């Protein structure tokens, strides 16, 4: 069998196992821990009468634990995560509404910060030791270390509350029309959350890309290129950056779990109606079914994103394809 296929199957198996473990952990976290939230699921006064019977049947609470577990697994695979206490509608329905909003914010922020981070990191690595390098690196370190939610709060205070340039939160203005004006309105709402996220992500990418550039610059082929008398811009573009990119792009993909964390922080600050805000509200209102559903969906999405990153990396890097690593 081809080594890449073996690599692929191994990764896929681990992914399936991880998803399985996540679902199992989710089941036990909410049943065995103190306070027994499973009982809370039934006794919550906010749950409507007709839904109580439904939940009882869905959770199989009259059956032994192992049967509850099997029922839970079956329902999870069908995408059924119970009924929200607060909204009294299926959790999956709420998540389906919120997930696209998070993906929109996340993908725009990742795209911008990848470009910015890689460009700045390449410049830093190329001009290493210079004043420019030191300044840009320090700025990146700071923007990476400052808490993302706090950057969000400061942006919100300055640009929305004091200067009034941007809306205070949400995704659209109520009654904002349709078509192009609506999209412009969304863009305006998206601007500050995106800036907050980009400041954090890009800070990390700069540090990664700079490190990768420093490794590459030590390679013999850079010396060869210089000896051949190639223009430095050509060396930078075609020899250094291209080779430095690979590990960085992989790390970006593998870091998706962290990015989701930043997204939760920012969504809360800007009341962006995505998964992060949903989790926050669920925590505040002790809406356990929603919390569980969000946890499972986010974790599985991140696990799958990691798998895809691994596969792409394996495909790009011939060493993995040939099984030498």
Partner 1 sequence: MKKLKGFIKELLSNRYGLAGVIILVPYVILAIFAPFLTPYGPYEMGGLKEVLLPPCKEHILGTDDMGRDVWSQLVYGARVSMTVGFLAAAFGVLLGTFVGLLAGFYGGVVDEVLMRITDMFLVMPTLPLMIVLAAVLGPSIWNIILVIAVTGWPGTARVIRSQVLSVKERPFFEAAVCIGEGDLGLMFFEVLPCVLPIVFAESVLWVADAIYSEAVLSFLGLGDPTHISWGMMLNFAFSSGVMARAWWWVYPPGMSIAFVVLGFTFIGSAINEIVSPKYKEV
- Tell me whether residue 122 or residue 287 sits nearer to partner 1 (CB atom): 287
Q: Which residues pair with 83 in a beta bridge?
A: 90
Is the backbone of residue 88 left (phi > 0), alpha (psi -120 to 50) or beta?
A: left
Applying the rule CB under 8 A, the residues between 255 and 274 that interact with partner 1 are: 256-258, 260-261, 264-265, 268-269
By beta-carbon proximity to partner 1, the closer residue of 9 and 184 is 9
Per rule CB under 8 A, is residue 142 in the interface with partner 1?
Answer: yes
Positive or negative, the CA dihedral 82, 256, 18, 315 is positive
- Least Å distance between CB 154 and partner 1? 7
Site size for partner 1 (CB under 8 A): 48
Stretch near partner 1 under the rule CB under 8 A, chosen from 34-42, 186-194, 197-205, 227-235 = 34-42
Q: Report the residue number, 240 or 268, with the smaller CB distance to partner 1.
A: 268
Q: How many CB atoms lie within 10 A of CB 279?
A: 21
How near is the Cβ of 235 to partner 1 at its closest, in Å? 29
Residue with tokens 């569980």: 292
Within 146-179, where are the H helices? 148-155
Among 3, 8, 14, 103, binds partner 1 (CB under 8 A): 14
With binding defined as CB under 8 A, does residue 16 bind partner 1?
no
Structure tokens at 35: 């306070």
Structure tokens at 55: 């939940």
**In terms of CB distance, is 19 or 241 closer to partner 1?**
19
Task: Name the minimum Å distance from CB 189 to partner 1.
Answer: 18
How far CA 255 is from CA of 107, 122, 222, 225, 251, in Å, comes to 13, 20, 29, 33, 6
Q: Is 205 in the site for partner 1 (CB under 8 A)?
A: no
* Separation between Cα atoms, residue 173 and residue 167, nearest integer Å: 8
Taking CA atoms, 158 is separated from 22, 155, 168, 277, in Å, by 41, 5, 11, 22
Cβ-based nearer residue to partner 1, 132 or 308: 308
User: 175: phi > 0 → left, psi -120 to 50 → alpha, else beta; which?
Assistant: left
* Residues forming the site for partner 1 (CB under 8 A): 14, 17-18, 21-22, 26, 29-30, 33-35, 37, 141-142, 145-147, 149-150, 153-154, 157, 161-162, 256-258, 260-261, 264-265, 268-269, 279-280, 283-284, 286, 288, 291-292, 294-295, 298-299, 302-303, 306
């Amino acid at each position: 069998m081809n080594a890449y296929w073996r690599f692929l199957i191994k990764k896929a198996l681990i992914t399936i196992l991880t998803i399985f473990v996540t679902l199992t952990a989710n089941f036990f976290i909410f049943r065995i821990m103190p306070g027994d939230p499973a009982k809370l699921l039934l006794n919550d006064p906010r749950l409507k009468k007709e839904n109580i019977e439904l939940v009882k049947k869905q959770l199989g609470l009259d059956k032994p634990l192992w049967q509850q577990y099997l029922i839970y697994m079956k329902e999870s695979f069908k995408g059924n995560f119970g009924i929200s206490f607060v909204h009294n509608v299926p959790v999956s329905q709420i998540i389906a509404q919120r997930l696209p909003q998070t993906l929109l914010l996340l993908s725009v922020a990742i795209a911008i910060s990848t470009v910015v981070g890689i460009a700045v990191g390449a410049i830093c690595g190329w001009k290493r030791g210079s004043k420019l390098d030191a300044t840009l690196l320090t700025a990146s370190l700071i923007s990476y270390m400052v808490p993302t939610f706090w950057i969000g709060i400061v942006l919100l205070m300055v640009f929305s509350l004091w200067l009034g340039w941007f809306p205070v939160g949400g995704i659209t203005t109520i009654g904002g029309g349709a078509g192009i004006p609506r999209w412009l309105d969304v863009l305006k709402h998206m601007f500050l959350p995106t800036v907050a996220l980009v400041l954090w992500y890009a800070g990390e990418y700069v540090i990664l890309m700079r490190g990768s550039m420093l490794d590459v610059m030590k390679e013999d082929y850079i010396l060869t290129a210089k000896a051949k008398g190639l223009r430095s811009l050509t060396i930078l573009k075609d020899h250094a950056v291209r080779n430095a990119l690979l590990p960085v792009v992989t790390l970006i993909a593998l870091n998706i779990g962290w990015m989701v964390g930043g997204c939760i922080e920012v969504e809360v600050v800007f009341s962006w109606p995505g998964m992060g805000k949903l989790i926050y509200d669920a925590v505040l209102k002790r809406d356990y079914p929603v919390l569980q559903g969000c946890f499972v969906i986010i974790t599985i999405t991140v696990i799958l994103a990691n798998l895809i990153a691994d596969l792409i990396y394996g495909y790009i890097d011939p060493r993995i394809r040939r099984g030498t690593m």
